Amino acid sequence: MHIVIKVGGSLCVGKDGPKEVYFRKLISVLRNLSKTNKLILCVGGGRLTRSYEKLIKNFKLSNKEKEEIFVDLVNANNKFLAFAIGVAPCIDLNSLTRRKRIQVVGASRPGISTDADAAMAASKIGADLFIKLTNVDGIYTKDPRKYKHAKKMDFIPFTHLMKEKIKPHPNNYGVLDYKAIEIISKNEIPTIVCNGKNPKVILDILKGKKVGTFIGKAPVV
């Protein structure tokens, strides 16, 4: 299988940088998976970019200027992952190939989230599955951190996915970024959004365990 995995920065990047314990677990899982699958990885900015944003908030920078800074920080995270695995980082999505066992992509440009970059990578190589690991159990009817009665959706058809879009701003793109949603919907890329606190959940998914929210074609009745 060709699998694209986006790891939310909230899971793996603290305010001071990469979380060693998490990345060691993740890399172990990735090396196991890459024996029988082709993988593309991408990690987000996490608390590192949010911490940086707070430190520069009193300077009159435009959103575009802030995004340029965040792109560099995110790419540092992805370069770290690539080097730790033993592969060269891939910032240019046009250089992606279906042949390599593991590829790591970073942030391509300001205004585009790593969710969207990962979704574009999935579209470019014709991925069989896109997995978004985040710090919540899936996609909810409302923000579960604000609304106690929010319900997790186990399945969302491509035709309904566009309703989940939110208006983005730097460092806040929602559980699944609006641009990623557009790409996933248009290209009908099977997608799972789930809690990735333990990277081994990826192995559970490939064993057929139902976790998180699955995005796909509506079943034929």
Eight-state DSSP code of residue 93: G
Architecture of domain 2-216: 3-Layer(aba) Sandwich (3.40)
Please tell me the predicted confidence (pLDDT) of residue 163. Answer: 66
Report the alpha-carbon distance of residue 186 to residue 26 in Å, rounded.
30
Residue 70, pLDDT > 80, answer: yes
DSSP three-state, residue 174: coil
Residue 113, pLDDT > 80, answer: yes
DSSP three-state, residue 147: coil
Residue 79, pLDDT > 90, answer: yes
Output 174-179 pairs: Cβ under 8 A, ≥24 positions apart. 175/132, 175/134, 175/136, 175/139, 175/140, 176/115, 176/132, 176/139, 177/113, 177/115, 177/116, 177/119, 179/112, 179/113, 179/115, 179/116, 179/119
Residue 92, pLDDT > 90, answer: no
Residue 176, pLDDT > 60, answer: yes
**10 Å Cβ neighbour count for 142?**
11
Please tell me the predicted confidence (pLDDT) of residue 200. Answer: 96
Residue 171, pLDDT > 80, answer: no
Please tell me the predicted confidence (pLDDT) of residue 174. Answer: 57
Report the alpha-carbon distance of residue 102 to residue 4 in Å, rounded.
10
What's the mean per-residue pLDDT of the chain? 89
Residue % of the chain over a pLDDT of 70: 93
- What average pLDDT score do residues 45-66 get? 91
Residue 181, pLDDT > 60, answer: yes
Range among 29-38, 59-68, 178-187, 210-219 rated most confident = 29-38
Share of the chain residues as helix, strand and coil, in percent rounded to the nearest 5: 40, 20, 40
Please tell me the predicted confidence (pLDDT) of residue 168. Answer: 47
Please tell me the predicted confidence (pLDDT) of residue 73. Answer: 93
Please tell me the predicted confidence (pLDDT) of residue 221. Answer: 45
Residue 220, pLDDT > 70, answer: no
- What average pLDDT score do residues 24-45 get? 95
- Radius of gyration for the chain, computed over Cα atoms and rounded to the nearest angstrom: 17
- What average pLDDT score do residues 19-35 get? 96
Please tell me the predicted confidence (pLDDT) of residue 159. Answer: 84
Bridge partners (DSSP) of residue 70 are: none
